[in-house]
Amino acid sequence: MTARPGAVGGETGNMSWIEEVLRRRRRRRTWGRIAMVLALVTPLALHLGWPYWEQYRSRQEAETNAAALQEYEAVVRPAVRALLAYDYRDFDGAVARGQAFLTGPFAAEYPAAMASLRTTAFVEQAVVTVDDPTLVINERGRHRSEVTAFVTQRRRSNRLAGVEIAYCRVLVTLERAGSGWKVARFVITPNSTVEISPAAVP
């Protein structure tokens, strides 16, 4: 029997087409298995890995806050002492030292506020000191940050039998000034608790 011309070529073409179809089916089955494995493994990995990710993120946040707090402390602590403490014998010097930490409109408001206190300070011979404040970060930013300072203020004057101890919370807004920080806002919230201690020394 004589083979038809082109029969072999036709069969070869059919085989190539069939093999291609089979390859595609195998690829689809392979990708289907991969998708199924991923669908099963991914939620499990997320479930097991999420606590570790949270711990890592919390640790990173704590380290960043600690570094930022150290940077803010170098400015806020001396600023709080300079702005809230004064001695009637060097009142103008105290105002100048406080103003050196300021920026923006508050830099002009502060001397005016202290000027209204000047006469009273001289009449009462007032001496006010401030303990090193405790700081807490409220907001951390590259150009603007906010810190709360918990302050203990001690005041002695000729109208007091001892030393008046007052507590307050100060909201300090910092703004970037060159490579450092300056105080742009200073909001005092007094505590109603005031003590008079005859033994305390300011």
DSSP string for 81-127: HHHH-EEGGGHHHHHHHHHTTB-TTHHHHHHHHHHHHHHHHHHHT-E
* CA-closest candidate to residue 93, choices 132, 121, 66: 121
Residues 174-190, mean pLDDT to the nearest whole number: 93
Report pLDDT for 3. 45
Residues 24-38, mean pLDDT to the nearest whole number: 67
Q: What average pLDDT does the chain have?
A: 82
Q: Please provide residue 39's backbone torsions phi and psi, each rounded to the nearest 5 degrees.
A: -65, -30
Question: Any idea where the domains of the chain sit in the sequence?
Answer: 77-197
Q: Is pTM beyond 0.85 here?
A: no
Alpha carbon separation from 75 to 100, 176, 181, 200 (Å, rounded): 11, 11, 7, 27
Lowest-confidence segment of 16-30, 96-110, 141-155 by average pLDDT = 16-30
Over the stretch 110-125, which tens digit does the pLDDT of each residue have?
999 999 999 999 999 9
Question: Does the structural domain 77-197 have CATH classification 3.10.450.230?
Answer: yes
Over the stretch 81-91, which tens digit does the pLDDT of each residue have?
999 999 999 99
